[in-house]
Amino acid sequence: MRALLSLVIGFGVIALGNYWFNPYLPICRLPVAYSIGNFDEAFNISREEALLALEDAEAVWEESLGRDDIFVYKDDSLVHINFIYDERQQEAAEAESIRRDLSIRGDANEVLVELHGRLVSEYDTYNIEYKSRLSQYESEQDEYNAEVERYNQQGGAPPDVYEKLESERERLDSERRSINELAEKLTDLAAQINEIGDKGNELVGEYNLRVNQFNDTFAQGHEYTQGDYRGREINVYSFVSHEELVMVLAHELGHSLAIGHVENPQSMMYYLMDEQPYPATLTDEDKEAFALACEGNFGLRLLGSFQAVYNGLIN
């Protein structure tokens, strides 16, 4: 019994010693001091731009929690943030290039769809006019022919009636020519509509194929492989924009607080980067995880320190 008690006391002393004095034990100690370590300029951003992204990542936590004591930049800090350029950034750059190409193609498709819709609407308007005028013309032409036939059977129209009939014939001839021009316009519009429709179908088919290829290769929900937190090192491997860099940094800074992953897909500490909004903010789950890791009682924080060891190994 005394041996068991000694073992428990010894374990407690070791745990307490690690809690207070081991700077490499992943436990929440505020503020977390960090600095930029290795910085590969192949990312095509300056250190100043990286620092701005870090400030924005800090703000995700501090503004959401209403605090200003969570993170601090110090040149002699133990937490180093490294920018490591490798094949992941090359893949991210390729994905972004394809994404831009798809965006351009998508815009072009929308322009064709809009143009096709306008032409169809124009065709429908002209077609209604064409049918109405043609019906009116045929009715008036039949009346004219019947009247001419009637006067012919009477041996001819009087001079004044003849002039009126001749004037009506000229008007009907003019209307027929105008209707024929409208019919030609409808034919041209129909040809344009068919041509744009065929082209649009071709482009949409190619666009959908490329989208499917992109989704199969790049766009599925993915874990935060753009960065990781190991011990006292945050490594950033890939990003394609300031916004994505902020998301990666905010997530990994969360791990530096000994916070593991949470369940809400919109949370900063969710294990997938897919559904989080931007500008980024903390969800209730993120805040609860912070409170447990950094504001809980001694026992909970001590237990959290051992859980954080496991999180540090898998995240």
Asked which of 219, 253, 269 is the last residue of a domain, the reply is 219
Mean pLDDT of 285-301: 80
* CATH at residue 238: 3.40.390.10
Q: For residues 211 and 222, what is the distance between their CA atoms, to the nearest angstrom?
A: 17
Residue 125 shares a structural domain with residue 64 = no
The verdict on residue 3 lying in a domain is no
Q: What is the mean pLDDT of the chain?
A: 85
**42 within a domain of the structure (yes/no):** yes
The yes-or-no verdict on residue 50 having pLDDT over 80 is: yes
Verify that 182 and 116 share a domain, yes or no: yes
| C-alpha to C-alpha distance for 237 and 300, rounded to whole angstroms | 33
Higher-scoring residue by pLDDT: 87, 130: 130
1 falls within a domain: no
> For 140-157, what is the mean pLDDT?
92
Do 213 and 103 belong together in one domain? yes
Does 262 share its domain with 299?
yes
Do 174 and 276 fall within a single domain?
no
User: Last residue of a domain, which of 196, 219, 242?
Assistant: 219
Lowest pLDDT segment from 14-23, 81-90, 193-202, 207-216: 14-23
Are 84 and 167 in the same domain? no
User: CA-to-CA distance for 268 and 106, rounded, in angstroms?
Assistant: 30
Judgement on whether residues 70 and 153 belong to the same structural domain of the protein: no
pTM more than 0.75: no
Please give the full DSSP string across the chain, using - where no structure is assigned: -HHHHHHHHHHHHHHHHHHHH-TTS----SSEEEEEEEE-GGGS--HHHHHHHHHHHHHHHHHHHT-S-SEEE-TT-SEEEEE--SHHHHHHHHHHHHHHHHHHHHHHHHHHHHHHHHHHHHHHHHHHHHHHHHHHHHHHHHHHHHHHHHHHHTTS--HHHHHHHHHHHHHHHHHHHHHHHHHHHHHHHHHHHHHHHHHHHHHHHHHHHHHHHHIIIIIS--BSTTEEEETTEEEE---SSHHHHHHHHHHHHHHHTT---BS-TTSTTBSB-SS--SS----HHHHHHHIIIIIS-HHHHHHHHHHHHHHHHH-
Q: Which two tokens stand for residue 110?
A: 């929308």
Residues 66 and 102 in one domain: no
171 within domain boundaries: yes
Average pLDDT over residues 225-231: 87
Assigned domain for 9 exists? no
For residue 33, being part of any structural domain is answered with yes
Whether residue 215 is found in the same domain as residue 230:
no
Do 27 and 79 contact (CB within 8 A), yes or no? no
Say if 149 falls within a structural domain: yes
User: Which of 192, 219, 246 finishes a domain?
Assistant: 219
Note down the domain range covering 50.
16-92+223-314
Check if the beta carbon of residue 71 is closer than 8 Å to that of residue 31.
Answer: yes
Report the DSSP beta bridge partners of residue 36.
81
Residue 7 falls inside a structural domain: no
